[in-house]
Amino acid sequence: MNKIFPQGYAWINGEFVKLAEAKISILDWGFLRSDATYDVVHVWKGRFFRLDKHIDRFFESAKKLRMPCQISRDELKKILANCVSKGKLESAYVEMIQTRGMSPKFVRDPRLATPRVMAFAVPFGWILKQEDFEKGLNVLLTDIKRIPPSSVDPTIKNYHWMDLVTGMLDAYEKGNDTAVLVDENNNITEGPGFNLFCVNGSGIFTPDHGVLEGITRQSVFDLAKELHLPIMKKSISVEELYNAEELFATSTAGGIMPITKVSGKEIGKGSVGNLTRQLHKLYWQKHSDDSWSTSISDILTN
């Protein structure tokens, strides 16, 4: 068994291949310039969760980058489902990618490049493992400034992660699980691959700008509406973060995850809050709901 590549399959250059065989050119703009967009959807027990919303965002991101995706929705669904099926995965992390592609003769004009779509599926991965749920995340609140929206539109899912990676390295070196970054006004933004929510006596709050509009983030709004919980988007200061009664992160890689410490300081009682627990339970119940999830077998047979 290959010691580097996990179990899984990829689709690239129009064919399905083992992960070790999935390669792009060194001259691809996605590699050279991080000129690409992507989206990640997860599969849980043979069902894609909120697949159409992820594909909507993927198509919109490609359009905003002025390289509209030329693959149809139905074709893309079958590609993703086949990556999971061929990899023999029951629960998976599934990524769709579009790069700018290559320009002929390596000319510098990105308009001359031919965009390239690819995808892969690997076993489901967690930011916070299930067995660590009660412990929660201990995040480092960094002083690293998130790339401002005036420079890179955060609503386009992108690989401009140097600020996020630097935050992760700082967090690991100080014994934390992951990091949260601030904006130029020292308000809370997001972390590497996750959005952030605060809970206090007035309701549930999440940053209103400078962040990716996560699908799991939107799921929290949908769940809160169902549970008749007050929720809104607003600026969140560092002080509000530390004084929150509950904190939780949201991501495709783990769903709704409690944050019990920030830079070593306990949040609330230092344990999983009741509201976080309530949302987390309902979130996983939705994975078997036909209006929230799609069977891989149905995609492959239609």
The predicted pLDDT at position 2 comes to 67
Residue 219: helix, strand or coil by DSSP? Answer: helix
Residues 6 or more apart whose Cβ sits within 8 Å of residue 282:
223, 226, 227
The predicted pLDDT at position 102 comes to 95
Domains and CATH numbers, the chain: 9-123 (3.30.470.10), 130-287 (3.20.10.10)
- DSSP state string for 144-194: EEPPPTTTS-TTS-----HHHHHHHHHHHHTT-SEEEEE-TTSBB--BTTB
Kindly tell me if the per-residue pLDDT of 3 is higher than 90.
no
The predicted pLDDT at position 212 comes to 97
Rounded to 10 degrees, the C-alpha dihedral 105/107/109/115 comes to: 30
Band (pLDDT 50/70/90 cuts) for residue 224 is: very high
Across the chain, mean pLDDT equals: 97
In the block, tokens 């809050």 appear at 273
Other beta carbons less than 10 A from residue 178's beta carbon: 22
| CA–CA separation, 220 and 218 (whole Å) | 5
Band (pLDDT 50/70/90 cuts) for residue 85 is: very high
In the block, tokens 């023999």 appear at 88
Nearest to 182 by CA among 211, 205, 159, 154: 211
Q: Give percent of the chain with pLDDT exceeding 70.
A: 99
Q: What is the pLDDT of residues 132-158, one digit of tens each?
A: 999 999 999 999 999 999 999 999 999
Kindly tell me if the per-residue pLDDT of 266 is higher than 90.
yes
Q: What is the pLDDT of residues 164-206, one digit of tens each?
A: 999 999 999 999 999 999 999 999 999 999 999 999 999 999 9
Kindly tell me if the per-residue pLDDT of 1 is higher than 60.
no
